[in-house]
Amino acid sequence: MVTRNEVNGGPVLRFDGARPLSAAVVEEIGTFCDRAEDHREPGPVTVHVTGAPPDGWAKGLTVGLVSKWERVVRRFERLGRVTVAVASGDCAGMALDLLLASDVRIAEPGTRLLLSSAGGASWPGMTVYRLTQQAGAAGIRRAVLLGTPIEADRAVALSLIDEVSDDPGKTLAGLTVTAEGSETAIRRQLIFEAGSTTFEEALGAHLAAADRALRREAKS
């Protein structure tokens, strides 16, 4: 179930990863992204994620629907707002996708990250891509190939989780967001591109961002 309210001035989404993937779920996340983009008050966009798909979750799925899900997660990942995920319990499938697409990740004690299964092996979706990009092949091999859960402390060591907190609400309240809108999107894109471009290729984009920052500073 997805609910919506306000915390720290920004929108909040509560998502159960045990729900079946459907067109309605894709639309729900798209609508939440609309709301986040339209929201004008300062503060992060927050998602609370938990749950893992049950056995047989992929029966009846189509590649077309999976593609729509991956695209809406990518849209969430590129929002012009800082995104924060709070994870609890077992997180797999769609819950894990949203967690890995968030800028800041907080986990409650006992949280585990898992790969969902389909067709006799782990699901080969973009979860595998994000895990590898963020933690490296060596760090996630057992999770992908053997289905080994990634415990919270291991997730912190791999930088998949930023902090384990007994009081996520207090941790959220202590976050300070220094950029919003296009400034957030620009800096996130610089991070995304740093791992796949040379210094010379990246220099132009960084200089353009620096010029933009200097112009904004001069107007303040």
pLDDT in tens, 152-194: 999 999 999 999 999 998 888 887 666 666 777 777 777 777 7
pLDDT computed for residue 7 by the predictor? 46
pLDDT band at 64 (very low <50, low <70, confident <90, very high): very high
Q: Output the six-digit token pair for 207.
A: 């200089």
Q: Name residues whose C-beta falls within 8 Å of residue 97's C-beta, 6 or more positions apart in sequence.
A: 69, 73, 125, 126, 127, 130
pLDDT computed for residue 3 by the predictor? 40
**Ordered DSSP codes for 18-76:** TSPP-HHHHHHHHHHHHHHHH--SSS-EEEEEEE-PPTTTTTT--HHHHHHHHHHHHHH
Report how far apart, in Å, the C-alpha atoms of 171 and of each of 105, 107, 178 are. 11, 10, 16
Residue 6 has pLDDT above 70, yes or no: no
pLDDT band at 90 (very low <50, low <70, confident <90, very high): very high
The overall average pLDDT reported for the chain is: 87
pLDDT computed for residue 135 by the predictor? 93
Return the DSSP state at 120: T
Where are the chain's structural domains? 4-173, 182-219
Window from 16-20, 97-101, 108-112, 167-171 with minimum mean pLDDT: 167-171
Contact 116, 149 (CB under 8 A): no
Q: Which CATH number fits domain 4-173: 3.30.930.10, 3.90.226.10, 3.20.20.80, 3.30.460.80?
A: 3.90.226.10
More confident residue, 51 or 119: 51
pLDDT in tens, 131-149: 998 999 999 999 999 999 9
Could you give the percent of the chain with pLDDT greater than 90? 56
How many C-beta neighbours within 10 Å does residue 206 have?
A: 14
More confident residue, 37 or 41: 37
pLDDT band at 2 (very low <50, low <70, confident <90, very high): very low
Strand partners, 12: 5, 46
Residue 95 has pLDDT above 60, yes or no: yes
